[in-house]
Amino acid sequence: MPLFMDYHADLKAPKEALEQLAKDTRARKRDAFGVRQVEYYHSDAGDGYCLLDAPSAEAVRRHHEAMGVSCGPVHEVKTLL
């Protein structure tokens, strides 16, 4: 499946939410939209980047919407490896 990245400005997710996200990521869990979190990069300032394995950009948007998280632009990305 393609990889997608999106950006969240000033997300400031609670510690518990990040812990659950980490748990689901380690378990390679997919949601109802076929989206799997690969990694979540974040700063103490609240900025966050999601790297997601998903069938489409629309699935990524629906994934975020279901969690009540606004989603900005979604970009398909390629890896070097």
Tokens 């609670």 identify what position? 14
What's the structural domain count of the chain?
Answer: 1
The model carries a pTM of 0.87
Find the CATH number of the domain harbouring 57: 3.30.70.3090
Instruction: Identify the domain containing residue 12 by its residue range.
Output: 3-77
10-62 tens-digit pLDDT:
876 777 877 888 999 999 999 999 999 999 998 888 788 999 999 999 999 99
DSSP three-state, residue 1? coil
CA distance 35 to 51: 10
